[in-house]
Chains A and B, each alone.
Chain A
Amino acid sequence: AQSVTQPDIHITVSEGASLELRCNYSYGATPYLFWYVQSPGQGLQLLLKYFSGDTLVQGIKGFEAEFKRSQSSFNLRKPSVHWSDAAEYFCAVGAGNNNDMRFGAGTRLTVKP
């Protein structure tokens, strides 16, 4: 079965600074990879996805992620963080037709003024 590891439980960055959130996955075949964001008490919003093709994918809100098969990673990046980016970020991996999607433990992002 597939699994996801997000090594960082909590990250604090200053507003305007760059951001990288780490995600490592485990899956025998080519995975479907996702990043979701969740604000407190809210549902999850899809930031971006990777299925195949170009390993650098662009998402909403200025986020991008790079799939690196050799490192089993799918790290999320943003060049300049805004205070509104403070939230919980989840990396997820799907298998097959993606009916079975598993989430990482999440990384909580705090943005300092």
Chain B
Amino acid sequence: DTEVTQTPKHLVMGMTNKKSLKCEQHMGHRAMYWYKQKAKKPPELMFVYSYEKLSINESVPSRFSPECPNSSLLNLHLHALQPEDSALYLCASSGGRGDSYEQYFGPGTRLTVT
């Protein structure tokens, strides 16, 4: 099973709202990622968790707050977002048994900030 699941599929939120995106994988992967993708652009790395610890933070604004409760779950907490934060948010995981370095992506959450 190479599935990464993300919920919700779509999210519309106002600039004063607080919401969370959820990502889950059951492949035994030890690294999980958040990417942001604007229309017609490549994914941009936001955060990397390795063994449940934050290992990379690509200077993302503090209105985005990641959380890794356990090795299978990754959350992205959103607060006071701006309209320019509207994008597709992708979760990925990698690093299973052996030397599996490829990243597997979820279907994404389409976020619209109004």
Binding site for B on A (CB under 8 A): 32, 34, 36, 41-46, 49, 51, 90, 94, 97-106
- Please report the C-alpha to C-alpha distance between residue A12 and residue B108 in the assembled complex, in whole angstroms: 27
Binding site for A on B (CB under 8 A): 4, 6, 31, 33, 40-43, 45, 48, 50, 55-56, 88, 90, 92, 94-95, 99, 101-108, 110
A99 lies within 8 A of B31 (CB): yes
- Please report the C-alpha to C-alpha distance between residue A106 and residue B40 in the assembled complex, in whole angstroms: 8
B107 lies within 8 A of A43 (CB): yes
Other-chain contact of A99, B43, B56, B88, B106 (Cβ < 8 Å): B56
Query: Which residues of B lie under 8 Å from residue A45 when comparing CB positions?
Result: 105
Other-chain contact of B94, A98, A102, A104 (Cβ < 8 Å): A98
- Please report the C-alpha to C-alpha distance between residue A98 and residue B48 in the assembled complex, in whole angstroms: 11
A44 lies within 8 A of B43 (CB): yes
Query: Which residues of A lie under 8 Å from residue B110 when comparing CB positions?
Result: 41
- Please report the C-alpha to C-alpha distance between residue A45 and residue B108 in the assembled complex, in whole angstroms: 12
- Please report the C-alpha to C-alpha distance between residue A44 and residue B41 in the assembled complex, in whole angstroms: 13
Query: Which residues of B lie under 8 Å from residue A98 when comparing CB positions?
Result: 94-95, 101-103
